[in-house]
Amino acid sequence: MTHYILKDIKVSIYDRRNLTEIAADMLNIEKENITEFKILKRSLDLRHKDKDIFYVYTFIFSLKCQRPVCNKLEIYIPEEAKEFKNEHRINIKNRPVIIGFGPAGLFCAQTFIQHGIEPIILERGKRIAQRESDINKFITDRKVNKESNICFGEGGAGTFSDGKLTSRSKDARQNIVLNTFVKYGADESILYDNKPHLGTDVIKKVITNMTDDLISKGAEVRFSAKVENIILKDNAVCAVNGNGFEIKADTVILACGHSARDVYEILDNIGAAMQSKPFAVGVRIEHKREDIDRVTYKQHYLRTPLPAAEYILKYQDSSNRGVYTFCNCPGGLVIPCITEEEMLCVNGMSYSKRDAENSNSAIVVTVDQKDFGSSRPLAGIEYQRQLEHNAYVLGGANYSAPVMHCKDLLKNTKDKGFSDVTPSYLPGVKQADLHDCIPQNIFNCIKNAVEDFGRKLNGFDSGKAILTAIETRTSSPVKILRDENLQSINIKGLYASGEGSGHAGGIVSSAIDGIKAAQGCMNISK
């Protein structure tokens, strides 16, 4: 049957008609003539919000009637699905070992399983339910569990996040990732929304289902299995060992995320080719969600259901440093992403409904070797640790986060209490001057950016806003040098994937990287 497509159809947020009816009216036919109706794309158009706000759709469907005359109607020719055929495999003497079970590790394991190879997955953390218990315990007693926390465990750091699924990648594997999430419990809207997200509540369900299925199909997942060394022979991987285990392996895939600093130290010790790379540091800013929604949607606010408003803001400092908002969490929470004692760093998280009282986002500044004071591969990690320790001390040395009123940042005042925006960070906060934990040049960049963002998004620089320090885990501070198959350029059998490799960022691109790593191991044509 022929399928047709209608592209870029604007629908007012006040239009209550069924989408099939809207398409039928455009074509001047009865809606009963439209079958197999499907949304291909959806985005929110705010460019003319002073007048109206539109959803912009692309539809595909079939017709039971003769093709109507309409210059927008085209025959739909789907992009040819790219098949990744297994032409031949390298000689994997032992089962491949995947270190880490975030998006990269999950999708690497799934790819192996689909090709009849049963991998062993070593995850230093625990399953999601146990992770949640350990995180709640940290909030209560403020004792760091270095192996089970916001960053480490089943699903990786993305499990406790906003669950953004946006990606700049044009890789065809992106469709594999999104369809897999739907298979395991995500809503189909992620397949067509312009800015899809899951929320931590949905991610937990999806990841749990995916893990259970992988185990049922032969993947061996070992939790609380921290790798302590990668053993080489003749500059090739021959085994990995850790707390109570040693596994022979000629194929090891690193999928451990960018917070696994001890893994970078292992790689440094065995001489893996790496280099430091730029990343970004800064603070989390919190506003009342209703304030961001009101200024974004203007007169349309509360008149009709709309999603919690998102924003992306950028600024170029006079020193040519890039400053930008990062990981916006509308209706979300500020959370601890602490993995080491006497360190403090924060991130953002939200649930699928994005209905918490505050909206938050990082405001971060690009840093590089000039800031690290060294070109050594691990210099960026040392820089992160110093900033995180500064924030820990400033917060009272008990894992409370240091916070500051936005107006104190801009006007050099010292307001007390939280009469407008209540900080969402748990286990708690302490008011402080963030000058004392952030380098002056970085602090000045943040201040200038906030003023600029206030001109771009009215009220962003409001005195009501709260700043929480410190955000340091925006991306990997290290890049593992690898070839086109994702294998280390100087250690045979060692593959690097996901955010921890320094080549990916975010859930989807990390998952794609995991697929590519497995395909690289098996020499699958691309």
Predicted pLDDT at 277? 97
List domains and CATH numbers for the chain.
4-75 (3.30.70.2700), 97-276+478-521 (3.50.50.60), 279-471 (no CATH)
Predicted pLDDT at 89? 54
Predicted pLDDT at 463? 85
Predicted pLDDT at 236? 97
C-alpha–C-alpha distance, residues 371 and 445, integer Å: 14
Predicted pLDDT at 412? 82
**pLDDT of 358 strictly over 80:** yes
Mean pLDDT throughout 276-296? 97
C-alpha–C-alpha distance, residues 389 and 159, integer Å: 25
**pLDDT of 509 strictly over 70:** yes
C-alpha–C-alpha distance, residues 237 and 492, integer Å: 6
**pLDDT of 495 strictly over 90:** yes
Predicted pLDDT at 80? 62
Backbone angles phi, psi at 499, to 5 degrees: -60, -35
Which of 467, 159, 500 has the alpha carbon at shortest distance from 325? 467
C-alpha–C-alpha distance, residues 154 and 96, integer Å: 19
Which of 184, 183, 185, 125 has the alpha carbon at shortest distance from 154? 125
**pLDDT of 340 strictly over 80:** yes
Give per-residue pLDDT as tens, 174-229. Answer: 999 999 999 999 999 999 999 999 999 999 999 999 999 999 999 999 999 999 99
In 202-249 the beta strands, taken as DSSP E runs, fall at 220-223, 227-233, 236-242, 245-248
**pLDDT of 233 strictly over 90:** yes
Predicted pLDDT at 418? 80
Residues 359 and 330 sit within 8 Å (Cβ to Cβ): yes
Query: Quick check: bond before 423 cis, omega within 30?
Result: no
Return the structure tokens found at 47: 């460019």
Would you list the DSSP string of 442-466?
HHHHHHHHHHHHHHHSTTTT-TT-E
Taking the whole predicted model, whether its pTM rises above 0.85 is answered as yes
Predicted pLDDT at 81? 52
Give per-residue pLDDT as tens, 11-54. Answer: 999 999 999 999 999 999 999 999 999 999 999 999 999 999 99
C-alpha–C-alpha distance, residues 495 and 483, integer Å: 9
Give per-residue pLDDT as tens, 71-109. Answer: 999 999 987 655 555 444 555 678 999 999 999 999 999
DSSP state of 370: H
Instruction: Tell me the β-bridge partners of 496.
Output: 254
